[in-house]
């Protein structure tokens, strides 16, 4: 058997052209979706009177066999199998004969491949959501375990104000929570059955699309067949969500890479996630983190790929759309490794409280001093200005805010009093920030509780 | 008054550095959001006992004045106004004196700029949603008006099967509907108040964030201050939605550009949306369409910009994030023109039924012939094969499917009968595709009804 | 033997982490470059007195054996072979024992992988340059063969002025010539030997880098070891050149896709480069062209990948850089198919002169008319204006420029005379454009001659 | 006067459409190029007998006046001036009457805008090349001044081996040198005159394109008119070079941001390039560096914009190409600030030798120890393994390589001798790396000399 579509052709396809256009090399992984979709379509044909009960059963058994062969890695791709749909149909016809030839009644590869890709992605989204919740679980556990630890908070990578280490950790919890929300939103638009659209104009036979959707677990059916065969929004939306998720991981990685340098020494990542050097025997490089950061490249690349592919294509199906799959698969594969690696890094890293504490300098209490003046009735803009002068004076004298003498303070403004030294305390500074999103222990504890509620039973099981 | 933050500095900022870092050139447009946010914050400070009733009222009046000056284009930017926040605060202090200095109590530009940007975007999303619905309205009206028109449906830009012109139009309705859904989803994540996060660690004063959120119309408040000051996901999400929306417009444009060539002649766009040539007097170029297609470039570029900016930045605020605004504003501005232009093009284009009908050839009825054999009991794969041979034979003989003699058909397969000529009809082909997403008049009519229900009262008013 | 770098580690690498970081899956293809680079380095170590003649010879033989095993597909990747460098070194040590352990003296994987990647790319650039010249050859042959054919020239996809079909073809010749120039320019910067940079600080042994460069065919040696190990500019530059090249192919494809529609019918691509439909037996889709267009997506994606990876990485080597290879390999693989497919499409497509001629309408002679008035002394801007009125009048009367009566012309401007009808000729219009870049037959012939000179002996051999 | 092209139109352009398509808002800056190009074209028309000497002179004077008005900011844009070409032509016709109407003879906006853009870019490339050399000059001066300073070299941001601070600096010199080379290469392909291509088919009058090219300073003339009007490769190539250049700046910025943290303290950037905080009075944020890093976003975005615009456009001119200008201008503007800011940061930053020295730990001498064993005849792979054990033992004992007792060493391998302590010296480690690209003072001095030779007289003048 040659190509499915070859009977009107006289010439053979050019050999390089075959390589150029065949997709079996990467779309094989859709085998399960293709078999499930075909089974549901067989049922629909049967209900529409286009397959007898016997034919339908034969096809079902044949498809079961095909699925088993794939799962046992026993399925043999033939040279003419240009894509997974052809491969399954070819094998089915070997197994069940002419009934297989009826399976394509009213169905085109255009609606079939769209159905398969959506089925595949729905399953992957669910898996990735679980992996995300496991990273969140690891974050929550560490955040709860280290609640007492104070560290420098940075903006512009310069010391800003003291914060709880757990507060820093939880910032990533909420980023990942948005990633989960975005995946859930995109899932709704993925869960729309295109089968029934046929090539572009709709199925010419009375197929019950709602029943097929129900059998396959789709939440809705397509409204317009032209749109259905060319809609790759769901791929783009997934790839965007994946790119933003990886961007979050890249920021986490950046923090930890910097904090793993001896000059910071806040964190030590576990050897399981580090590698050595081929030439420098002392090295322990945070490779896992660098890859989490670097893989943002491919994620942004995958997103640009699909957007470029779609730009300016005429309506309905174009062959260009075959280019949707490799970026999609690459993004899924990357995340299926990146997320557990992230969870592992977080769960196993050593947190060096001492080094964090040592890095708490007086400078990051300057805001406390300005707020102190506010309580004395000084407008904040003025108090900010006065404390700026204090900072400058302290630097000039080689003092810190805590060692600068009271007269020096009073020389700048007489509203400074002895009690100013009381506010120059990192713990106090943390305690004061008790708004719900703030870094005070009570607020962070409430964050953690809310996080655990979101994770449900998962949190405990990690 | 110099820079807000300058008192600890000895040196002046380098002049080129000032140009490099100032954002007032582009963030001016946030003036309204900045004033509203400041007013709400003043109320919060008053509730927290940090402003007296008089101070609060003075600030309110001052802010009203600032807003009026902006709206009357009478606001004068000073040389030291590096950004809109500084400009508003500077002017307010001129107007109300030292009370203005209290407005920054516990508030940082980090949470302020995030609040302003979100407020701005929420308003723009609502506006864009309305503009989208107007494009949808124009589509629906034309789809309803031309329901009887049959045209060639294309896949791979080759004639495939006959479809209704209205079916083609409605495909774009559903693409835009997904765009609206995506904007609505991203709106939820935009509608989260970051105020209260202060610089990074949370406000040190007992500000009631829920009350501020309620006053400003935010749906939720931020959970974590570190995240709140550096979360630019909402910008990325909007830019992605904008890029995909523009991609849809580019596909519409591509169809119409091709159909506007004399060789097709299916469509004539109105002169209001065309331009001439500086050298060729006969020209009428579909510039509006080419720009709709070409502007996908800047939309993809804007998305890549924000993703590149965010990649690998340390947690909390970094100056890099200032680079979020220009792509955001550019995307908003582009869509605010592109959408009404699209609506106008659709509402005013001439649809040339005759040319569409003339392009309906027999080839696109081949599937009808294959389906005909299916009704005679031939498995589809076999019937496809047989019809392929028919097509080849017809081509060889210079015939079409309708002019090919019955014997010729029967020479290929004896199951062909006289009745085959009955299915070779474009109108029949359209009628047969009556699944809900199909191109049959009844199905398309149902699509249009559903569309009108979604648009509600809007549809009528266009 | 475990990992090369493992002796200071106590813990095992996490299993998922291994998958996450191993590159052997894709960097295997560098085997030849790795062997050649190692051989040249062995010579350098020998010259530096760090290998005896016997050891050097043993290593040479061992490397020959490794190379043969790879080329015979007999090389067995071991579980601990995390990358190609480890694999080659591991196998070499099995073959030649402890001498293999000396090969890494002073060499790091950092300079080794950079060397291998450059060696690989130099070879691929040369191959791609040849494939490009073959596409140019196919263009030149067709351009020469069809020199007499006039077709409509388009701007904005609207008929503009008549041109030679060969002129259109040759436009692509020059785009590809720029692509070759860019590749040649980027080749200079690729041909710089990084070996000797070691991990980051330079080789601690007196290696003669110039000799290594000469042996391996590099044009220069790196100036700075820190830069040498982290310079991926050459990858970026290649990926940009590849993206722009694919963009040119996408434009060629777009022209041909549109011209292959029955409404145009200017071109018929050969069946070798077309495919059929799984459901519509009549279909012959220009898949090759759609893929040439669609693959611009992955090319742009690959470029964005490397730029994103590099952004904001600290100096010297970071693991992120491992992400350079997959986009590079993908771009090479894509072009190695896309270019011969393009050459094949061009060489085999049918050019339908008749359909081109039929599409030549009078409108595209309007510029001739304006130029005619210029020869009567009318300033061009005025003549353009007058001809615009002529066009409008002709349309209103259902005439064309050639059938519009002289009085009608003279009613608009009395300078129109009987001789105006003489310039309304497509052939004349083409002949007049005889500036060197113009579409006149003599100018296009000169273009072709110049092209053949550039191709040298290649042109004849295609 | 209305639009140039309007006489065949009946309808007015839609008001929003005008905003959508007008380019005068951004292409004004091409005024100088437009005037110069028009002057050269007037000369060509005169030589071709299409302008009298008087007309030519009138046009010249008129263009001089237009130029002066622009440079004096006295030029008034009219409502109908849709682009800079229209504006100049309109004003010229006010100044010189009907002769102005002859200037467009044989010239189209298609070849005119391409000429203007190239002229503009050629000038900008030359300017940017000079700005680049000034950054290189600043690097070279600092590298020479600090030649004795040893600091930790990092890979994976972990301490690797000691290097000279000047070696680190010079790594950026060579990156920028490649940027200059790339700009020079792209300049060749920019310096090709498209004038003469007219709308798409070539000028119908005997214009001497070589003379125009010579007058305007172009190195070559276009080969093919269709290509000439749609070739935007030079824009893409510039935007790629700009993106890679900004990527280099982002890496420099990343190093300096990290080194400016108190935990590192290697560098202090001057206050001229830092800013404070609106709320934290102690802050001195390295804003210049963060912007250098963040602006990589817009550069990558601009590149993606042009590539997306060009993808899949039909041959010859399309309105889409108008979208080339804003990304081009944005990239030029950004670099014109970013480069001097970079030079300023480098020239003024404080280098804290002491902190660099304090960060030199024993671990980064492990390679010295492995190389020491090599000199004792141990194969490197084995010596790497043994030193790995030493490192582990030292860590376990709380020792460093220098404090670990000789017996401990000999317990691991008896080939360790008393002399091992002699190699454990950071200065020695630097001195040993004397290959041309290495970090030894002599090699770095040679690098600097070569750099100064490349910069020529420039270096002295900074």
pLDDT 10s digits, C268-314: 999 999 999 888 988 999 999 999 999 999 999 999 999 999 999 99
Question: Which of these is catalytic: B7, B156, B278, B414?
Answer: B156
The pair of structure tokens assigned to A240 is 């965007």
Please state, in angstroms and rounded to a whole number, the distance separating the CA atoms of residues C224 and C201: 9
Look at A363 and D311 and tell me if their CB atoms are within 8 Å.
Answer: no
Mean pLDDT of the A182-206 span: 98
pLDDT at C457: 56
Residue C241 appears among annotated catalytic residues:
no
Please state, in angstroms and rounded to a whole number, the distance separating the CA atoms of residues B90 and B57: 18
Q: Nearest CA to CA, how far is A440 from chain D (Å)?
A: 18
Measured over the CA atoms of residue C411, residue C413, residue C414 and residue C418, the dihedral's sign is negative
Per-residue pLDDT tens over the stretch B171-215: 999 999 999 999 999 999 999 999 999 999 999 999 999 999 999
- 3-state SS, residue D173: helix
DSSP state letter for A147: T
The pair of structure tokens assigned to C253 is 């494809």
Helices (H) and strands (E) in chain D, counts: 20, 6
Question: How crowded is residue D419: how many other Cβ atoms within 10 Å of its Cβ?
Answer: 10
Which residues of C fall within a CB distance of 8 Å from A309? 294, 296-297
Q: Is the pLDDT of residue D8 over 90?
A: no
Taking all residues of chain B, what is their mean pLDDT, rounded to a whole number? 95
Write down the H helix ranges in D311-425.
325-348, 353-358, 366-375, 380-397, 406-412, 420-423
Same domain, D19 and D62: yes
The pair of structure tokens assigned to D10 is 């009946």
Asked if residues D345 and D259 have their Cβ atoms less than 8 Å apart, the reply is no
pLDDT at A9: 84
Residue after which a domain boundary falls, among B358, B388, B421: B358
Same domain, D347 and D249: yes
The pair of structure tokens assigned to D290 is 């963060």
Residue after which a domain boundary falls, among C328, C358, C388: C358
Say which residue the tokens 């129900």 belong to.
A214
- Contacts (Cβ under 8 Å, ≥6 apart) of B311: A247, A250, A293, A296, A300, C308, C311, C312
pLDDT at D457: 56
Q: Is the pLDDT of residue B79 over 60?
A: yes
Question: Which of these is catalytic: A38, A104, A108, A277?
Answer: A277
Asked if residues A77 and A164 have their Cβ atoms less than 8 Å apart, the reply is no
Same domain, D367 and D381: yes
D1 lies in some domain = no
Look at B263 and C260 and tell me if their CB atoms are within 8 Å.
Answer: no
Same domain, C241 and C353: yes
Look at B237 and A307 and tell me if their CB atoms are within 8 Å.
Answer: no
D156 lies in some domain = no
Q: Is the pLDDT of residue A358 over 50?
A: yes
Among candidates A109, A199, A323 on the partner chain, residue whose Cβ is nearest the Cβ of C298? A323
Q: Which residues of chain C have pLDDT under 70?
A: 1-2, 457-462
pLDDT at C7: 81
Give the residue among C190, C255, C270, C181 at the shortest CA–CA distance from C228.
Answer: C190
Same domain, C278 and C384: no
Banded model confidence at residue A459, pLDDT cuts 50, 70, 90 = very low
D294 lies in some domain = yes
D154 lies in some domain = no
Range of the domain at D456: 362-461
Mean pLDDT of the B356-378 span: 96
| Furthest CA-CA distance within chain D | 100
Banded model confidence at residue D1, pLDDT cuts 50, 70, 90 = very low
Measured over the CA atoms of residue B110, residue B114, residue B116 and residue B117, the dihedral's sign is positive
Which residues of A fall within a CB distance of 8 Å from C93? none
Chain B, 214 to 233: residues with Cβ < 8 Å from chain A are 221-229, 231, 233
Same domain, C27 and C59: yes
Chain B, 396 to 455: residues with Cβ < 8 Å from chain D are none
Residue B51 φ then ψ, to 5°: -130, 140
Same domain, B51 and B119: no
Say which residue the tokens 């190389």 belong to.
D371
Which residues of B fall within a CB distance of 8 Å from C371? none
DSSP state letter for D219: S
Question: Which of these is catalytic: D7, D156, D278, D461?
Answer: D156
Residue B257 φ then ψ, to 5°: -60, -45
Instruction: Calculate the CA A21 to chain-centre distance.
Output: 30
Same domain, C333 and C400: no
pLDDT at A389: 95
DSSP state letter for C77: P
- pTM of this prediction? 0.97
pLDDT at C2: 59
Give the residue among C331, C175, C345 at the shortest CA–CA distance from C253.
Answer: C345
Please state, in angstroms and rounded to a whole number, the distance separating the CA atoms of residues C43 and C51: 8
Q: What is the CATH number of the domain that holds A45?
A: 1.10.275.10
B156 lies in some domain = no
Look at A158 and D369 and tell me if their CB atoms are within 8 Å.
Answer: no
Residue C248 appears among annotated catalytic residues:
no
Among candidates B196, B222, B314 on the partner chain, residue whose Cβ is nearest the Cβ of A258? B314
Same domain, C277 and C172: yes
Count of the separate structural domains present in chain D: 3
pLDDT at C8: 82
Apex CA C405: angle with CA C401 and CA C409, to 5°?
75
CA terminus-to-terminus distance, chain D: 52
Give the residue among D308, D307, D3, D118 at the shortest CA–CA distance from B287.
Answer: D3
Mean pLDDT of the A275-301 span: 94
A158 lies in some domain = no
- 3-state SS, residue C350: strand
Banded model confidence at residue A413, pLDDT cuts 50, 70, 90 = very high
CA terminus-to-terminus distance, chain A: 52
Per-residue pLDDT tens over the stretch B240-294: 999 999 999 999 999 999 999 999 999 999 999 999 988 898 899 999 999 999 9
Per-residue pLDDT tens over the stretch A3-20: 777 788 888 888 899 999
Instruction: Calculate the CA A356 to chain-centre distance.
Output: 30
- Contacts (Cβ under 8 Å, ≥6 apart) of B58: B96, B99
A153 lies in some domain = no
Instruction: Calculate the CA C64 to chain-centre distance.
Output: 33
3-state secondary structure chain B: CCCCCHHHCCCCCCHHHHHHHCCHHHHHHHHHHHHHHHHHHHHHHHHCCCCCHHHHHHHHHHHHHHHHHHHCCCCCCCCCCCCHHHHHHHHHHHHHCCHHHHCCCCCCHHHHHHHHHHHHHHHHHHHHHHHHHHHHHHHHHHHHHCCCCEEEEEECCEEEEEEEHHHHHHHHHHHHHHHHHHHHHHHHHHCEECCCCCCCCCCCCCCCHHHHHHHHCCCEECCCHHHHHHCCHHHHHHHHHHHHHHHHHHHHHHHHHHHCCCCCCCEECCHHHCECCCCCCCCCECHHHHHHHHCHHHHHHHHHHHHHHHCCCCCCCCHHHHHHHHHHHHHHHHHHHHHHHHHHHHHHCEECHHHHHHCCCCHHHHHHHHHHHHHCCCCHHHHHHHHHHHHHHHHHHCCCCCCCCHHHHHHHCCCCCCCHHHHCCHHHHHHHCCCCCCCCHHHHHHHHHHHHHHHHHHHHHC
pLDDT at A8: 81
Q: Is the pLDDT of residue A1 over 50?
A: no
Please state, in angstroms and rounded to a whole number, the distance separating the CA atoms of residues C334 and C352: 30
The pair of structure tokens assigned to D381 is 């792979």
Look at B291 and D20 and tell me if their CB atoms are within 8 Å.
Answer: yes
Residue after which a domain boundary falls, among B312, B342, B358: B358
Per-residue pLDDT tens over the stretch B411-435: 999 999 999 999 999 999 999 999 9
Per-residue pLDDT tens over the stretch C105-153: 999 999 999 999 999 999 999 999 999 999 999 999 999 999 999 999 9
Q: Is the pLDDT of residue A382 over 50?
A: yes
Parallel, antiparallel or unpaired: strands D192-193 and B158-164: unpaired
Of A453-457, B326-330, C353-357, D226-230, minimum mean pLDDT range:
A453-457
Banded model confidence at residue D13, pLDDT cuts 50, 70, 90 = confident
Q: CA–CA distance from B37 to each of B104, B218, B224, C416 (Å)?
A: 12, 11, 19, 69
Q: Is the pLDDT of residue B51 over 70?
A: yes
pLDDT at D461: 40
Q: What is the CATH number of the domain that holds D180?
A: 1.20.200.10
Same domain, C372 and C342: no
- 3-state SS, residue C351: strand
Among candidates B101, B308, B381 on the partner chain, residue whose Cβ is nearest the Cβ of A101? B381
pLDDT at B178: 98
Which residues of D fall within a CB distance of 8 Å from A385? 281
Banded model confidence at residue A457, pLDDT cuts 50, 70, 90 = low
A286 touches chain B (CB under 8 A): no
Per-residue pLDDT tens over the stretch B96-130: 998 999 999 999 999 999 999 999 999 999 999 99
Q: What is the CATH number of the domain that holds C427?
A: 1.10.40.30
Per-residue pLDDT tens over the stretch D46-74: 999 999 999 999 999 999 999 999 999 99
* Residue-wise burial string across B160-183, b where 16 or more C-beta atoms lie within 10 A, e elsewhere: bbbbbbbbbbbbbbbbbbbbbebb
Banded model confidence at residue D380, pLDDT cuts 50, 70, 90 = very high
Parallel, antiparallel or unpaired: strands C192-193 and A150-155: unpaired
pLDDT at D7: 81
The pair of structure tokens assigned to A316 is 């309905």
Nearest residue in chain B measured CA to CA from A164: B201
A157 lies in some domain = no
Partnered with residue A192 across adjacent β-strands are A220
- ipTM value > 0.90: yes
Please state, in angstroms and rounded to a whole number, the distance separating the CA atoms of residues B3 and D278: 9
Which residues of B fall within a CB distance of 8 Å from C429? none
The pair of structure tokens assigned to D2 is 């209305």
Please state, in angstroms and rounded to a whole number, the distance separating the CA atoms of residues D301 and D242: 11
Q: Is the pLDDT of residue D221 over 70?
A: yes
Say which residue the tokens 């034309």 belong to.
B142
Of C162-176, D9-23, D343-357, minimum mean pLDDT range:
D9-23
Same domain, D101 and D138: no
pLDDT at D219: 98
pLDDT at C1: 42
pLDDT at A462: 37
Neighbours of chain D (3+ CB pairs under 8 A): A, B, C
Instruction: Calculate the CA D215 to chain-centre distance.
Output: 28
Please state, in angstroms and rounded to a whole number, the distance separating the CA atoms of residues B377 and B367: 15
Which residues of A fall within a CB distance of 8 Å from C276? 3-9
pLDDT at C460: 42
Please state, in angstroms and rounded to a whole number, the distance separating the CA atoms of residues D382 and D178: 39
Same domain, A323 and A366: no
pLDDT at B2: 59
Taking all residues of chain D, what is their mean pLDDT, rounded to a whole number? 95
Banded model confidence at residue D12, pLDDT cuts 50, 70, 90 = confident
Please state, in angstroms and rounded to a whole number, the distance separating the CA atoms of residues C316 and B312: 17
Q: Where are the beta strands (DSSP E) in A391-449?
A: none
């Amino acid at each position: 058997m040659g190509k499915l579509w070859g009977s009107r052709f006289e010439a053979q396809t050019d050999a390089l052209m075959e390589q150029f256009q065949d997709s079996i090399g990467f779309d094989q992984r859709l085998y399960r979706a293709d078999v499930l979709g075909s089974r549901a379509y067989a049922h629909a044909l049967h209900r529409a009177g286009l397959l007898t009960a016997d034919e339908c059963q034969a096809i079902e058994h044949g498809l079961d066999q095909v699925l088993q062969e794939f799962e046992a890695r026993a399925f043999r791709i033939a040279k003419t199998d240009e894509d997974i749909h052809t491969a399954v149909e070819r094998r089915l016809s070997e197994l069940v004969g002419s009934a297989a030839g009826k399976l394509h009644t009213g169905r085109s590869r255009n609606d079939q491949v769209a159905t398969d890709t959506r089925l595949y992605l729905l399953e992957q989204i669910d898996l990735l959501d679980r992996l995300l919740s496991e990273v969140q679980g690891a974050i929550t556990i560490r955040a709860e375990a280290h609640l007492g630890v104070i560290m420098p908070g940075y903006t512009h990578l310069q010391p800003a104000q003291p914060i709880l280490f757990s507060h820093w950790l939880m910032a990533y919890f909420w980023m990942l929570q948005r990633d989960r929300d975005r995946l859930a939103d995109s899932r709704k638009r993925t869960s729309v059955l295109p089968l029934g659209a046929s090539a572009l104009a709709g199925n010419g036979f009375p197929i019950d699309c709602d029943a097929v959707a129900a059998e396959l677990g789709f939440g809705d059916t397509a409204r317009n067949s032209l749109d259905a065969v060319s809609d790759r929004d769901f791929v783009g939306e997934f790839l965007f969500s994946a790119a933003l998720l990886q961007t979050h991981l890249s920021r986490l990685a950046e923090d930890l890479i910097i904090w793993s340098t001896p000059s910071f020494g806040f964190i030590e990542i576990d050897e399981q996630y580090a590698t050595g050097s081929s030439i420098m025997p002392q090295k322990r490089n945070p490779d896992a983190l660098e890859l989490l950061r670097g893989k943002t490249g491919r994620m942004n690349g995958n997103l640009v790929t699909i957007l470029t592919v779609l730009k300016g294509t005429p309506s309905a199906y174009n062959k260009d759309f075959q280019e949707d799959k490799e970026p999609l698969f690459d993004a899924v594969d990357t995340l299926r490794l990146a997320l557990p690696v992230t969870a592992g890094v977080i769960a196993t890293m050593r947190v060096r409280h001492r080094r964090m504490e040592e890095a708490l300098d007086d400078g990051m209490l300057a805001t406390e001093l300005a707020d102190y003046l506010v309580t004395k009735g000084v407008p904040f803009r003025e108090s900010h200005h006065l404390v700026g002068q204090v900072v400058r004076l302290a630097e000039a004298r080689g003092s810190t805010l805590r060692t600068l003498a009271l007269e020096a303070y009073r020389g700048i403004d007489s509203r400074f009093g002895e009690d100013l030294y009381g506010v120059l305390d990192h713990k106090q500074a943390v305690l004061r920030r008790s708004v719900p999103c703030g870094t005070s222990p009570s607020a962070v504890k409430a964050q953690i509780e809310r996080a655990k509620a979101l994770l449900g039973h998962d949190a405990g099981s990690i």
